[in-house]
């Protein structure tokens, strides 16, 4: 539903599937990207940057699939990043063809340090390339975004000239990246004010900001840019992204909502105007955050603003006393405003399928019959081990069962572990291989989890190095579900896996298999590309 012209609100440009996926270990397959894209559409983001189409066959397929299935009439703008080259722009245009509203986002470095050491080009060469490639992108789509990379460290006069030429060539959005997270909010304000004053045709384009979080200032910088006239913010769910990440979507959106009286005047509104400043359906924030965390394997730190486990928790006696007397004494927003479920106990092992389905709907999960059966069977298994099943448990069960599996991957059939203070930890593992073979092996290790991983490695025969193992309790109590997240490294690429169970060793085994499957699929795709290249070369 339209809220008026862009000047009346902030356009939310979500780059979780592009910049966010550049986080080490956050590699997603096409099905996982599609799941996130569908949820981003439900969340109400205006633009989904679906990927970098030219980067790989997988990226191209993901952008195209999202354009087809999510970029429908009435849906969000679907965008692909492209360097300022014909090859990149052609790939982006081709992948975006199915989208009702496609956008090509092209970029080129403009700072002297990038020109000298990365591009090895002069300012005049970059100016010509920027103008030519924006015009080339415009020949494919009406909606073209241009980014001068490392804008915050670019000579101001040259930056103004590049932006003026890009708009003249057809750019409809001008994005200003603080690529290395170098600026402070005051400097961002001065930068944006200078652009608005010295780029004569800037009013012909929407002004955007992209802030990195290297100094922990990404959200503050983005909000400062909004105060100075920026009307699009590029951000990611949970703030994931290159290095220290990006401005977090949930922080930007909730800051604009909670502090609406402060921001309203910057949009020409009365201080007490009630209309929202973004199109985001805030009740979908928590669900989206959890989905991205689960699929990328990147746990959310407990003290993370808005979506962290402690964001609405109070331990201090003074705080607890205040909250009990009046919630607003120590809370500036309600948990329900981001769709955070209350930790209510509603189901147990005697609960039926209908009650289970109804509660899942209340939590925002709409499952088809097949998926419902899988989740219900898992629920019954957990309910036999736990007296009470909380909303948090239900969410973990559903996300774990609905976790998108890599095609032709390994399946874990059986896990048995023997351990103790006087016993050598031993694991017996049975798996089904991608071609249907059933294999069993046993191994010893320094502990039960190590023994499980040693046995799995003996069976799959895929070289890797375990670089991270973490366990997080879903709820309190001795019978809590535990979520295990692991990361494997292979040739400097990182692959993550995640799984939940009341038995941590079992969860660890499934998490490891999930990561192995990601690595296996990566190797399969890599081999297909190499074989295809060899075939082309032989011709």
pLDDT tens by residue, 340-349:
765 444 577 7
Find which of 59-73, 375-389, 392-406 is predicted with most confidence, using mean pLDDT.
59-73
Question: What pLDDT, on a 0 to 100 scale, did the predictor assign at position 318?
Answer: 53
411-527: what CATH class? alpha beta
Q: How far is CA 304 from CA 103, 238, 392, 496, in A?
A: 32, 8, 18, 21
Name the phi and psi angles at 413, rounded to 5.
Answer: -100, -35
Are the C-beta atoms of residues 77 and 52 closer than 8 Å to each other? Answer: no
Contact 243, 19 (CB under 8 A): no
- pLDDT exceeds cutoff 90 at 59: yes
pLDDT band at 538 (very low <50, low <70, confident <90, very high): very low
For 2, residues 6+ apart whose C-beta sits below 8 A from its C-beta are: none
CATH of domain 11-296: 3.20.20.70
User: How many whole angstroms from its chain centre is CA 324?
Assistant: 35
pLDDT score for 63: 97
**Residue 529 scores a pLDDT above 60:** no
Residue 422: its pLDDT value, please? 84
pLDDT of residue 403: 61
Domain boundaries defined on the chain: 11-296, 341-401, 411-527
Mean pLDDT of all residues belonging to the chain: 88
159-185: average pLDDT: 98
Strand pairing report for 411-420 and 423-432:
antiparallel
Low-confidence winner among 123-132, 321-330, 492-501 (lowest mean pLDDT): 321-330
pLDDT band at 314 (very low <50, low <70, confident <90, very high): low
- pLDDT score, position 364: 67
Please give the model's pTM, rounded to 2 decimal places.
0.81
């Amino acid at each position: 539903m339209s809220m008026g012209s862009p000047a009346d609100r902030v356009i939310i440009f979500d780059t979780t599937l592009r910049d966010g996926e550049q986080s080490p270990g956050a590699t997603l397959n096409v099905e996982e990207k599609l799941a996130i894209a569908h949820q981003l559409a439900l969340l109400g983001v205006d633009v989904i940057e679906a990927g970098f189409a030219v980067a790989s066959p997988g990226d191209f397929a993901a952008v195209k699939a999202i354009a087809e299935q999510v970029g429908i009439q009435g849906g969000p703008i679907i965008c692909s990043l492209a360097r300022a080259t014909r090859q990149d722009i052609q790939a982006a245009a081709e992948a975006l063809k199915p989208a009702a509203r496609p956008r090509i986002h092209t970029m080129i470095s403009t700072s002297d340090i990038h020109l000298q050491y990365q591009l090895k080009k002069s300012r005049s060469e970059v100016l010509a390339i920027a103008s030519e490639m924006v015009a080339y992108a415009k020949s494919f789509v009406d909606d073209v975004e241009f980014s001068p990379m490392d804008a915050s460290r670019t000579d101001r006069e040259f930056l103004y000239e590049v932006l003026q030429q890009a708009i003249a060539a057809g750019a409809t959005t001008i994005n200003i990246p603080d690529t290395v997270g170098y600026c402070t909010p005051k400097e961002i304000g001065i930068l944006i004010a200078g652009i608005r004053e010295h780029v004569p045709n800037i009013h012909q384009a929407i002004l955007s900001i992209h802030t990195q979080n290297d100094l922990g200032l990404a959200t503050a910088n983005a909000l400062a840019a909004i105060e100075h006239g920026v009307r699009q913010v590029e951000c990611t769910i949970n703030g994931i992204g290159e290095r220290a990440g990006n401005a977090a979507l949930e922080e930007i959106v909730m800051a604009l909502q909670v502090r609406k009286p402060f921001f309203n005047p910057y949009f020409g509104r009365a201080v007490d105007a009630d209309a929202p400043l973004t199109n985001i359906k805030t009740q979908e924030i928590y669900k989206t955050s959890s989905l991205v965390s689960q699929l990328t394997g990147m746990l959310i730190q407990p003290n993370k603003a808005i979506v962290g486990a402690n964001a609405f928790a109070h331990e201090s006696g003074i705080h607890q006393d205040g909250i009990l007397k009046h919630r607003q004494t120590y809370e500036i927003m309600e948990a329900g405003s981001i769709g955070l479920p209350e930790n209510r106990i509603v189901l147990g092992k005697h609960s039926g399928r209908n009650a289970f389905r109804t509660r899942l709907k209340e939590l925002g999960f709409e499952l088809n019959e097949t998926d419902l059966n899988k989740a219900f069977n898992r629920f019954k298994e957990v309910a036999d081990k736990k007296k009470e099943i909380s909303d948090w448990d239900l969410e973990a069960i559903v996300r774990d069962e609905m976790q998108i599996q890599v095609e032709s991957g390994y399946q874990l059939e059986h896990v048995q572990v023997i351990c103790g203070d006087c016993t050598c930890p031993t694991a017996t593992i049975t798996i089904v291989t991608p071609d249907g073979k059933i294999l069993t092996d046993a191994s010893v290790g320094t502990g039960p989890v190590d023994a499980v991983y040693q046995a799995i490695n003996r069976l799959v025969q895929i070289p890797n190095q375990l670089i991270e193992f973490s366990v997080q309790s879903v709820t309190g109590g001795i019978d809590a579900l535990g979520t295990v997240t692991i990361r494997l490294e292979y040739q400097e690429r990182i692959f993550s896996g995640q799984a939940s169970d009341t038995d941590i060793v079992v969860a660890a085994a499934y998490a490891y298999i999930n990561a192995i499957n990601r690595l296996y699929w990566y190797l399969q795709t890599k081999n297909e590309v190499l074989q295809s290249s060899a075939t082309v070369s032989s011709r």
